[in-house]
Amino acid sequence: MADSARRIADELRARIGSGELSPGDRLPGEPALVGEYGVAKETARRALTLLVTEGLAVRKRGSGTYVRSFRPLRRVANKRLSQAGWGNGRSIWSADVDDRELRVADVEVAEVPAPERVSRALALSEGDPVVVRSRRYLVDGEAVQTATSWLPAELVRGTAITRPDTGSGGIYARLAELGLAPARFAEELRARMPSRAETELLALPEATPVVEIHRVAFTADDLAVELNEMLLDAGSYVLEYHLDSQSE
């Protein structure tokens, strides 16, 4: 059954890739796939679910499964973190969205004791005060990512970083004004299935995984100034990295 479902999904994916099925088109329903391929209804359902999980299709209750019209974002880590961007007042998101509509929602800022994982990442003592900024990003009206930044409160207390709107260039531009410009970053990621709360927060289609990214920003003196914990809708992103073969 699994092989048959993958074969059907492969053929539908090819039809999407060739343009035979365009964004917004309705995919063949389960009865049509059962009749065309001679498989069980469960196999047909699994084939469509595979496309939903990949972010190529969306289910509309009571209507069917459709080719997703949202264009995936290409997240080029090296480009978006370049000082040439945020150092000139541009949001790091400008590297991802170009001229697409971007909205930042649910911005919350507070000063709290550092949880253990945060104090470890920022080389603080557990319970030291940190400023935490959480927000949700929507592109073309669809939620694509949540982000939570943690910064040592002693470094940023009373600055624009503690306001909902940090100004042009964002957090990194404000850190640079404090003499704490990020000079390098350490980023790790993993893919996993979301919790129920995460599924609702990002309005994820069923069975859609997320990509969890943790990034620490360091100054030229190797002082950790920010931990950013991001959660991305895996179906909305292509992650691109450019690596130097001479790097250690």
Is residue 35 situated within a structural domain?
yes
Is residue 183 situated within a structural domain?
yes
Is residue 180 situated within a structural domain?
yes
Predicted local confidence at residue 184, as pLDDT? 93
Residue 186 CA to residue 227 CA, distance in Å, equals 10
Q: Does residue 196 share a domain with residue 87?
A: yes
Secondary element (H or E) of residue 131: strand 129-139
Domain extent at residue 54: 2-67
Predicted local confidence at residue 55, as pLDDT? 79
User: How many other CB atoms are found less than 10 A from the CB of residue 119?
Assistant: 19
Q: Does residue 109 share a domain with residue 137?
A: yes
pLDDT of the chain along its 248 residues, tens only?
568 999 999 999 999 889 899 988 999 999 999 999 999 999 999 999 888 888 788 888 888 999 988 788 888 877 777 766 666 666 677 677 777 888 999 999 999 999 999 999 999 998 999 999 999 999 999 899 999 999 999 999 999 999 999 998 899 999 999 999 999 999 999 999 999 999 999 988 777 889 999 999 999 999 999 999 999 998 888 888 877 766 55
Predicted local confidence at residue 84, as pLDDT? 66
Angle between helices 2-18 and 30-37 (to 10 degrees): 110
Q: Identify the CA nearest to 54 among candidates 98, 93, 5.
A: 5
Predicted local confidence at residue 220, as pLDDT? 96
Q: Does residue 161 share a domain with residue 227?
A: yes
Number of structural domains (the chain) is 2
Q: Does residue 166 share a domain with residue 61?
A: no
Predicted local confidence at residue 199, as pLDDT? 93
Q: Identify the CA nearest to 103 among candidates 144, 160, 45.
A: 144
Q: Does residue 82 share a domain with residue 19?
A: no
Q: Does residue 172 share a domain with residue 99?
A: yes
Q: Does residue 120 share a domain with residue 229?
A: yes
Q: Does residue 77 share a domain with residue 38?
A: no
Predicted local confidence at residue 233, as pLDDT? 92
Residue tagged 């470890």 (tokens): 120
Q: Does residue 152 sit in helix, strand or coil?
A: strand
DSSP letter for each residue of 175-219 = HHHTT----EEEEEEEEEPPPHHHHHHTTPPTT--EEEEEEEEE-
Predicted local confidence at residue 160, as pLDDT? 96
Predicted local confidence at residue 119, as pLDDT? 97
CATH number of 16's domain: 1.10.10.10
Residue that finishes a domain, picked among 67, 93, 116:
67
Residue 123 gets the label, from left (phi > 0), alpha (psi -120 to 50) or beta, of: left
Residue that finishes a domain, picked among 67, 96, 120:
67
Residue that finishes a domain, picked among 67, 97, 122:
67
Q: Does residue 204 share a domain with residue 121?
A: yes
Model pTM greater than 0.75?
Answer: yes
Q: Does residue 181 share a domain with residue 137?
A: yes
CATH number of 181's domain: 3.40.1410.10
